Amino acid sequence: MTNVASIPSFSAPTPEELVARARELAPLLKRNGPMGEVNRRVEAESIQAVVKAGLFKVCTPRRYGGWEMNTRAMLDVSAAIAEADGGTAWVVNLTNFSAWLASLFPLKAQDEVFGTDPDTRVSGSGVLAPSATPTKIAGGFRITGKWYYASGGWHAQWAVLGMPIVNESGETIDQGFALVPIDDLEREDTWFVAGMKSSGSICLVANDIFIPDHRVLSVPQAMEGDYPTETRGQEAFYRSTFLPILAALTLVGPQLGLGRAALEFVRQKAGSRPISHTLFAKQNTSVAFQLQIARAAMLIDTAHLHAYRAADDIDRAAASLVYPDMITRTRIRADTGYVAERITQAIDLLLFAHGAGSFAESSPLQLIWRDSAVGARHGLVLPAVSYEVYGKALLGIENNVTPAV
């Protein structure tokens, strides 16, 4: 069994170096983006390039040769990838988060996942909405079920799946995560959507497979920071708060990069595009256009400030052995919704500023718009829900909305 005392000695890249590597891949990721949309999965060439650059190891423990960084690094790496392609960024960030999640399991399970390959990719699906029928048997469970929206499921070797935990009588006694080898599952191609097409968020299917006890952990306990990994007291990153790291990082990191990409594209074109049906031969000479650009830039900056505050709060708490209180956790969730709102508003402004050409199939703006719009509607991001739970926490009112905080 791997232990923290035997961490391999090697020179890990800094987050800044990983961001630079991500930007070096931009021409390749942009070139493969359209084919990823057509095939509804990230192109294999892009996946292999990301593997080679080490961008799938942000959350893998150093014990296995990973980088074991932090939540801020997750934001920055995924945002840098999203500057080139939103679908690839979504897959990388969801995969990295799922590697973090796998690192909360007992060491025996971690060894099975990462022990022979630090580049192992883990897909997450149905973590908070289990849709399976388990049977308790000696040493584990037999389980049958379907799990939708497994982002990156085409490219993973393992999956984290939600499941009811039952006793020998079949009574549900808990809600759990299960770590399952992809080879034990079937893949159903069910991802037909308007945006984030290349995320390949397919359905995973289990037909009476066996899951040993050491590859199952409790969701309610995880939500309170009680993780079964034996190294929890020694590795700060794997003490991070579960739901805030899921919402604040997995779901909004790509949004930051998409917002930046939209702003940069419109800025670069402003000196050569006229404003239709006006006397402006160049957009950048119009005061109205200048105001739109400034407003969009401020919205994107505001989104970054909230995202970074949330990430820094998670990282500081983990480093200080502190589990954030309910107000902090709900505020991080509210930050997440706020980021999505601000990026959505910024891209909308940029579409108006750039004009109807934004929606040409050849324009990167329409792809950015679709990817951002779909990502911003994830259930854990919805601003109205996030603000309500934060407001209840501020007022001392019982949260009867969602346990996902």
Residue with tokens 């049958």: 144
Q: Which one of 218, 250, 273 terminates a domain?
A: 218
- Would you say residue 224 lies in a domain? no
* Interhelix angle 287-319/253-269, nearest 10 degrees: 160
10 and 48, same domain (yes or no): yes
250 and 390, same domain (yes or no): yes
- Would you say residue 318 lies in a domain? yes
- Would you say residue 302 lies in a domain? yes
306 and 346, same domain (yes or no): yes
At residue 384, the pLDDT reads 95
Instruction: Give the burial string for 142-159 (b: 16+ CB within 10 Å, else e).
Output: ebebbbbbbbbbbbbebb
CB 223 within 8 A of CB 403: yes
10 and 149, same domain (yes or no): no
212 and 310, same domain (yes or no): no
- Would you say residue 316 lies in a domain? yes
Q: Which one of 150, 183, 218 terminates a domain?
A: 218
Range of the domain at 135: 123-218
Rounded Cα distance, 357 and 129, in Å: 40
CB 21 within 8 A of CB 199: no
All residues at 6 or more sequence positions from 59 whose CB lies less than 8 Å from its CB, including other chains = 66, 67, 68, 69, 74, 96, 97, 99, 100, 103, 237
At residue 11, the pLDDT reads 86
Residues of the chain short of pLDDT 70, as ranges, are: 1-9, 125-130, 247-248
154 and 112, same domain (yes or no): no
At residue 394, the pLDDT reads 98
At residue 126, the pLDDT reads 59
**Mean pLDDT of the residues in the chain:** 94
255 and 169, same domain (yes or no): no
At residue 403, the pLDDT reads 84
Rounded Cα distance, 41 and 376, in Å: 19
At residue 404, the pLDDT reads 84
- Would you say residue 64 lies in a domain? yes
246 and 172, same domain (yes or no): no
What's the structural domain count of the chain? 3
- Would you say residue 348 lies in a domain? yes
- Would you say residue 233 lies in a domain? no
DSSP codes of every residue in 153-193: TTT-SEEEEEEEEE-TTS-EEEEEEEEEEGGGSEEE-----
Separation of first and last alpha carbons in the chain? 33
User: Tell me, what CATH number does 86's domain have?
Assistant: 1.10.540.10
174 and 110, same domain (yes or no): no
19 and 155, same domain (yes or no): no
Q: Which one of 74, 103, 119 terminates a domain?
A: 119
